[in-house]
Structure 1
């Protein structure tokens, strides 16, 4: 059985949509507020979905390639984020938003300061099988990019 171009595109789009829905579920149902890098990892999947929707109607390899590059961009940000979590390299200045380094006693009593605030990028909020969410995003986004590559070859 040969997988059609549109079927492959739908598989890749389902992967991006699944990652986005999973991230939103962790945030809104699980109470795990995202850090700046977490948010940055989401946007390329939004772009991949947009490219994918257009690719369902417009033939050629360009749109699947762009969607695959978007997924690889998310994977690249995930590699950087994983390195920040593991202290392999420093994070961005925006990554230290929700740390206790510069918090006064009055701030600790004020729940409005931290509720909904971005998390610090260097803290592992959740892990499974020893891998954090950004590490899992690297794996999933790389797989999605591979499906987009197969889709481009069918163009």
Structure 2
């Protein structure tokens, strides 16, 4: 059975995050959708949650370690979901209330001090308020939020479950 052991679940967390990143890169490079600062921030937390899943898969810890990795996955996904919700909020604003669009992220990183560029990246700008793609009426950050909720659920499940795989 799939997800029978904590190790299998951690592998699925990692592979799921790989799938999310592949989808993001497909949208960027094949569909020509340029990621906004909040999109990039969400990608960072997808990668972080996936990295915890991969480390847990490789490490294959006993009960306490599995719970710690589960917490790390859940917290990473929870923080990422906050950025998804921020972008959904920006997308829900009327056009005249949305923040102004900023320069591209590469330009900001080259020109502004790092902390200023990071602040813009975390808060988002007018580019983040634009809905450029939807599926079943839900925009990209909406689907990303769904993925983060799933990752939080898997992380919490890893914390609460009784591991049945003793590390060798």
User: The TM-score by the shorter chain falls in which range?
Assistant: 0.7 to 0.9
RMSD: 2.4
TM-score with structure 1 length normalisation?
Answer: 0.77
Counterpart Cα distance in 2 of 1:55 and 1:96 = 39
Q: How does 1:103-114 map to 2 (within 5 A)?
A: none
Aligned to 1:96: 101
Counterpart Cα distance in 1 of 2:157 and 2:8 = 11
Aligned to 1:147: 154
In the alignment, is the contact (CA less than 8 A) between 2:70 and 2:154 conserved in 1? no
Superposed displacement of residue 119, structure 1: 7.8
Q: How does 1:12-91 map to 2 (within 5 A)?
A: 12-56=13-57, 57=59, 58-59=61-62, 60=65, 61-87=67-93
Superposed displacement of residue 97, structure 1: 2.1
Is there any run of 5+ residues in structure 2 with no aligned partner, and where?
105-124, 164-168
Higher helix share: 2
Is there any run of 5+ residues in structure 1 with no aligned partner, and where?
100-117
Q: How many pairs align? A: 134
Please identify runs of 4+ aligned residues in structure 1 that moved more than 4 A.
none
Superposed displacement of residue 79, structure 1: 0.6
Superposed displacement of residue 34, structure 1: 0.5
SS of the equivalent of 2:129 reads: coil
